[in-house]
Amino acid sequence: MTQPLGPVMLDVEGTRLRDEERQLISRAEVGGVLLFARNTPDVATTQRLIGQIRKCRPDILVAIDQEGGRVQRLKEGVTQIPSMATLGRQFAESPEAALTLTQDTGWLLGMEMAACGFDVTFAPVLDLDDDQSPAIGSRSFSPDPEVVTALAGAFIEGLHEAGMVAIGKHFPGHGGVRQDSHFDVAEDPRSLAELREHDLIPFARLAGKLDGIMPAHVIYSAFDDRPAGFSPSWLGMLREELGFKGTIFSDDLTMAAAHAAGSPRERAEAAWSAGCDMAVICNAPDAAREVVAACEGRQAQRIAKLRYARARPSLESLAAISRWRRTHVRLEALSESE
């Protein structure tokens, strides 16, 4: 039986663990560590840091935001992946070829991140680019929900081929919001019917394929006065109507749009009470310690299912695979042309 993990994902400061970080990671309440660009200047440094983390906690999840485009934390020593909008433009020119390339992209990303030591990369983005949201933009495949569904579905298939889980974000859709939830309270006044006909389509169609979903720190005021990640109504819909059975991650609880829920402890409690399995809290060490202390003894079964379960490839061995070589060349060329 899969052993449960704690419901907190936090970060670390640099490229080597400090003693206080080792002590915190060793707490059973911590189920994951999220690495940022400051932790991952190159592959060798990243692998060394992950080795230190796993020496403290062999079972812990190690995650990264590695979408491609402007959200690619680890750059040196891995393939440069273009934005998802670039793949969307490829789809407009040649749908079949774009679907193949997008599936290959998911596979390559999954294989490279597994080789580096990660269990989770927070991708793909299922938001629609309605040319309004500064937080989304080129991170989205397209403004068309059918195109997003098709391309994200191919990306998910590729990740799964590599043995990597797929985490869709940001439910029920961040693309129609002018505010950036990293820095401001974000509100979307559209009706539930409008969202069902547009933003919700990729989530509804792909819920059965996704291993994890991250809700948005956006208030959809026609439906609930709480951000989606703190809303039992939204997360209940995700479980009951959409039939999602995987892990629900909060978005980072230090983002400005999350502060309306109160103190760090109150934000985490609101996320768990709404239905999140894991509270993500980064770039605020004191807040992370407060949240860990608040959930002593709490664990979640779903989280442990996200561990990478295969023998990890090496980056050197990937270069011998024709699929990797072909995809690498294509993606690097697209990245340079952006």
Catalytic residues: 182, 251
* Residue found under tokens 């749009």: 257
* Residue found under tokens 């002593």: 296
The CA distance from 315 to 79, in Å, is: 10
| 3 state SS of 328 | helix
CA 277 to chain centre: 14
No. of helices (H) and no. of strands (E), the chain? 12, 12
The CA distance from 67 to 310, in Å, is: 22
Going by DSSP bridges, is the β-strand pair 66-68/71-72 parallel, antiparallel, or unpaired?
antiparallel
Q: What separation in angstroms does the CA of 184 have from each of 179, 250, 258?
A: 6, 17, 9
Q: What separation in angstroms does the CA of 265 have from each of 109, 219, 228, 254, 279?
A: 34, 20, 18, 11, 10
Where are any strands of DSSP class E within the chain? Answer: 8-10, 30-35, 61-64, 66-68, 71-72, 120-121, 167-171, 186-188, 212-215, 218-220, 247-248, 279-280
Closest CA to 330 of 90, 48, 143, 161: 90
